[in-house]
């Protein structure tokens, strides 16, 4: 019951905090900050906020094992690059348009899950067609001249965020959501900070004072939204993100209307309907985890290493004189017999899968 309540709370908080991101981001950009500065500062603030929070109240979630850390690093790099695309696009588009284009990530998520070789069905084709119609209407019927570079950056972010949602399902099977959130955001902070140091623009003191309040608010809401998002994915699965995406877009559009004065044309409202229909056609199995588990890249190596160690302990020569040759190059006759017995072989030809041994490890004749 408690887990269900946590899931409901996470589900309600996710669209609220994700929906305010374009608003605070646009306020900071309008105040004079460049896109790289907004992306870097908000992520670093979110990382510092989480680390302080964990060190004081939740130290148990700081522990992580190497394979899990690798998975979080992979996801953090993908999400970090996507965030750079996001705020680059946000600097060129209205907040409402940016959030509508970002909502395309669910369509990309479904397409990415089908890259494992599963055939395209009619339902998926209809979803893609509806999403493409929505994209054309939203970008082609704006009251302002559309910035196609901004559109491209937002769509690139949507692809990256789709990859984040898909990959996060794998690591969330093995680790709690707070731990995953901490290390994904930390990796994002490293990525975007490096980019900002390389290409970020200096700001005057007055500009810094103007942009700090929205960026601080953006950083804190980013940390909370990621905690809620990954908690929801762990408890609900990916299907719920389809419903949450619609409410996230609604929150962003409402705030953009009242705070930033963004206005959508009647055709764009129709485009929102096409996008909503495309998202609502998503089924549970459309977003089920498929493909490569990033943690398996390490676990396979670990399994091989454990087998290597076990073989060396059983049959290796001691002491080992070279690190390049951890096991003995030759085995004695006794050791060969030990291997033969281990594989289920007697003096007759090898029967490696026989389980019909007596108490001494010998295989009786078939006639017995």
**Is 20 contained in some domain?**
yes
Percent of the chain with pLDDT strictly greater than 90 = 28
Q: Does 254 lie in the same domain as 231?
A: yes
Q: Name the band, by pLDDT with cuts 50, 70 and 90, for residue 298.
A: very low
Q: Does 255 lie in the same domain as 107?
A: yes
Q: Name the band, by pLDDT with cuts 50, 70 and 90, for residue 284.
A: low
Least confident of 29-33, 56-60, 101-105, 176-180: 101-105
CA distances from 177 to 83, 228, 272, 304, 317 (A): 20, 9, 31, 29, 45
CB atoms within 10 A of CB 8: 13
Q: Does 186 lie in the same domain as 306?
A: no
What residues contact 6, with CB distance under 8 A and at least 6 apart? 231, 235
Q: Give the largest Cα separation in the chain, rounded.
A: 95
More confident residue, 80 or 262: 80
Question: What does the pLDDT look like over 78-109, one tens digit per residue?
Answer: 999 999 999 999 988 888 888 888 888 877 87
Q: Does 251 lie in the same domain as 202?
A: yes
Q: Does 188 lie in the same domain as 87?
A: yes
Q: Name the band, by pLDDT with cuts 50, 70 and 90, for residue 350.
A: very low
Total-model pTM: 0.71
Mean pLDDT of all residues belonging to the chain: 76
Q: Does 68 lie in the same domain as 190?
A: yes
Q: Which domain holds residue 48?
A: 2-287
Q: Does 262 lie in the same domain as 235?
A: yes
Q: What residue spans of 2-102 are helical by DSSP H?
A: 2-19, 21-30, 35-57, 66-90, 95-102
Q: Does 309 lie in the same domain as 208?
A: no
**Is 357 contained in some domain?**
no
**Is 53 contained in some domain?**
yes
pLDDT of 333: 65
Q: Does 257 lie in the same domain as 300?
A: no
pLDDT of 163: 86
- For the chain, the domain total comes to 2
**Is 39 contained in some domain?**
yes
Q: Name the band, by pLDDT with cuts 50, 70 and 90, for residue 312.
A: low
d(CA 26, CA 33): 9
Q: Does 309 lie in the same domain as 239?
A: no
What residues contact 338, with CB distance under 8 A and at least 6 apart? 314, 315
The most confident of the ranges 60-74, 125-139, 259-273 is 60-74
Q: Does 197 lie in the same domain as 303?
A: no
Which residue from 4, 10, 45 is spatially nearest to 24, judged by alpha carbons? 45
Question: What does the pLDDT look like over 154-187, one tens digit per residue?
Answer: 999 999 988 888 888 778 877 888 999 999 999 9
Question: What does the pLDDT look like over 112-124, one tens digit per residue?
Answer: 766 655 566 777 7
Q: Does 305 lie in the same domain as 326?
A: yes
Residue 294 has pLDDT above 60, yes or no: no
**Is 335 contained in some domain?**
no
**Is 359 contained in some domain?**
no
**Is 365 contained in some domain?**
no
**Is 364 contained in some domain?**
no
pLDDT of 74: 93
């Amino acid at each position: 019951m408690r887990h269900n309540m946590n899931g409901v709370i996470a589900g309600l908080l996710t669209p609220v905090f994700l929906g305010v991101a374009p608003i605070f981001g646009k306020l900071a950009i309008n105040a004079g900050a460049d896109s790289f500065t907004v992306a870097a500062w908000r992520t670093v603030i979110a990382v510092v906020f989480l680390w302080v929070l964990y060190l004081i109240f939740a130290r148990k979630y700081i522990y992580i094992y190497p394979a899990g850390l690798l998975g979080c690093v992979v996801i953090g790099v993908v999400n970090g690059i996507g965030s750079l695309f996001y705020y680059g696009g946000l600097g060129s588009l209205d907040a409402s348009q940016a959030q509508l284009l970002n909502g395309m990530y669910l369509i990309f998520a479904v397409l990415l899950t089908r890259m494992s070789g599963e055939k395209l069905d009619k339902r998926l084709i209809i979803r893609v067609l509806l999403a493409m119609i929505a994209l054309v209407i939203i970008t082609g019927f704006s009251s302002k001249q559309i910035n196609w570079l901004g559109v491209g950056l937002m769509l690139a972010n949507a692809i990256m965020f789709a990859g984040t949602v898909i990959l996060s399902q794998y690591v969330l099977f093995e680790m709690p959501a707070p731990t995953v959130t901490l290390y994904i955001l930390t990796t994002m902070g490293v990525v975007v900070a490096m980019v900002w140091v390389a290409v970020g623009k200096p700001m005057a003191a007055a500009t810094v004072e103007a942009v700090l309040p929205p960026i601080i608010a953006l950083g804190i809401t980013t940390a909370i939204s990621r905690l809620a998002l990954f908690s929801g994915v762990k408890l609900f699965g990916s299907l719920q993100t389809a419903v949450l995406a619609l409410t996230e877009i609604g929150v962003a559009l409402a705030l953009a209307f009242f705070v930033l004065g963004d206005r959508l044309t009647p055709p764009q409202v129709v485009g929102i309907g096409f996008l909503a229909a495309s998202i609502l056609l998503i089924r549970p199995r459309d977003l089920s985890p498929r493909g490569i588990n990033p943690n398996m890249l390490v676990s396979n190596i670990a399994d091989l290493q454990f087998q290597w160690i076990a073989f060396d302990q059983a049959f290796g020569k001691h002491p080992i004189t070279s690190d390049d040759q951890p096991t003995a190059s030759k085995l004695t006759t006794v050791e060969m017999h030990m291997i033969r017995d281990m594989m289920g072989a007697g003096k007759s030809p090898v029967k490696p899968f026989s389980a019909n041994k007596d108490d001494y490890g010998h295989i009786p004749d078939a006639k017995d």
